[in-house]
Amino acid sequence: MKDRKKGENVESYKTGTTTIAIIAKDSIVLAADMQATMGNLQSNADMTKIYQINEHLAVTIAGSVGDALVLVRFLRVQASLFELEHKTPMNTKACATLLSNILNSNKMVPFITQFILAGSVGGLSLYNLDITGGIVEEKEFSYSGSGSELALSVLDSNYKKGMSTEDAIKLAKDAINAAKKRDIYTGGQGIKIVVIKKDKIDELPIVKYN
């Protein structure tokens, strides 16, 4: 995917990435590589692929960054309006349903992007959404991007229900590292990790690859 600087026009290119989400005992761990690609070229090594919607919701993105950022901005506005009107934060299922409806209503000219949405309001929950609004609630982990198959083998082999946040972070790093070794579209300066807890969202320092 290709990011843009403030004031620049959004451009879409053939993209690739690896993003991971893991449900731990008391948190959800989101992780993503940081490489943006333009065809077979690396166009950016510090691309952000995890975005907060509010203090309780966050998404990973894969695909066209222009399409993804339009929807991220829309979700942020809608989450703020919901909280102002109802005096309570939007829960994860409601946000996922809203995003699903938007994606499906544009399926004839789709947003070329895939989201993994995680949040804590109403309990920790995780959803995967495809470009036509298909929505799946995940109970263990989720993944997206060109390195998914490589990361999935690590997740399948090592995921355990009720694992600690620390173990989930390690597993997420291992999965992204496995994808980077074989997927030419996964890379960048390191691994971005965000931890969603019941009362806050923590963004960790960038992790270097093994």
Which tens digit of pLDDT belongs to each residue from 86-144? 999 999 999 999 999 999 999 999 999 999 999 999 999 999 999 999 999 999 999 99
Domain segments of the chain: what residues?
A: 19-203
pLDDT number for residue 2: 43
Start-end of H helices in 23-164: 65-86, 92-105, 148-158
Mean confidence (pLDDT) of the chain: 92
Report the catalytic residues.
17
pLDDT number for residue 175: 98
Which tens digit of pLDDT belongs to each residue from 179-202? 999 999 999 999 999 999 999 999
- CA neighbours within 13 Å on the CB side: how many for 142? 26
Show Cβ contacts of residue 209 under 8 Å, excluding neighbours closer than 6 positions.
176, 177, 180, 187, 190, 191
Retrieve residue 171's tokens.
């597993």
pTM, entire model: 0.91
Q: Which CATH class is domain 19-203?
A: alpha beta
From 75, 11, 17, select the one nearest 47 (Cα to Cα): 17
Note whether 141 and 159 are within 8 A (CB): yes
Burial of 139 (0-12, 13-18, 19+ CB in 10 A): exposed
Note whether 82 and 90 are within 8 A (CB): yes
Retrieve residue 146's tokens.
């060109």
Note whether 59 and 192 are within 8 A (CB): no
